[in-house]
A and B are shown apart, each in its own frame.
Chain A
Amino acid sequence: KNQVEQSPQSLIILEGKNCTLQCNYTVSPFSNLRWYKQDTGRGPVSLTIMTFSENTKSNGRYTATLDADTKQSSLHITASQLSDSASYICVVTPQAGTALIFGKGTTLSVSS
């Protein structure tokens, strides 16, 4: 069964610190893997998208990595800000079919 597992479920860090969120997936073969940021009460917004042949993709202070051999992705946030407080969702698109497969997300709280 295609699954996407994220860890940790929640995380609290101090402003200015770095953090790394994990995503493990069993979807194979897959077309692409995305990371979304979802602020409370809002819809998800795309941060990065990587194909199976890409290893890393950056978007400002956000850097996503992908290891297709181990079926793992990570999202690294550098010099965190209060506005980074949100849920981060890992999403995988299988090669077969249309529907996306979502992880349950990691809730990040950045405190001052």
Chain B
Amino acid sequence: DVKVTQSSRYLVKRTGEKVFLECVQDMDHENMFWYRQDPGLGLRLIYFSYDVKMKEKGDIPEGYSVSREKKERFSLILESASTNQTSMYLCASSLSPRRHTEAFFGQGTRLTVV
């Protein structure tokens, strides 16, 4: 079974704190993604990475950064958390979308910024 594991299910952080969300996959997938999911807006892509040390901005990268030092790990960083970053964060990985393999998602991290 492919596993995508996110470090926390629930997090509560204070405004201005630096927040790290960690994601690990165990299937040697090339691509990894970070999304946020908000009611009525669906999933929106924050950043993705198609290789170690490579990253690409998604649709809403402002206020976020990422790190991919190892193939299996993709971290999302909120440099200075703000209340509008309260959301459900989902990590996903895939071997390659064009090989018609599916993307696997983690269980999600519900982040609340107070």
Contact = CB atoms under 8 A, between A and B. Distances in A.
Interface of A: 31-32, 34, 36, 41-46, 49, 51, 89, 91, 93, 95, 98-100, 102-105
Interface magnitude class on chain B: 20 to 34
Interface of B: 4, 31, 33, 35, 40-45, 48, 50, 56, 58, 88, 90, 92, 96-98, 100-108, 110
Contacts of B40: 104
Given A91-B103, A102-B42, 10 more contacts: A31-B98, A43-B92, A43-B106, A43-B108, A46-B102, A49-B101, A49-B102, A98-B96, A98-B97, A102-B44
B100 A49 contact: yes
Given A99-B33, A103-B42, A43 B90 contact: yes
11 contacts: A43-B4, A43-B90, A43-B106, A43-B107, A44-B90, A44-B105, A49-B102, A99-B48, A100-B33, A100-B103, A102-B35
Given A31-B98, A93-B98, A98-B50, A104 B104 contact: no
A67 B49 CA distance: 31
B33 A46 contact: no
B111 to A, nearest CB: 13
B108 A98 contact: no
Contacts of A89: 42-43
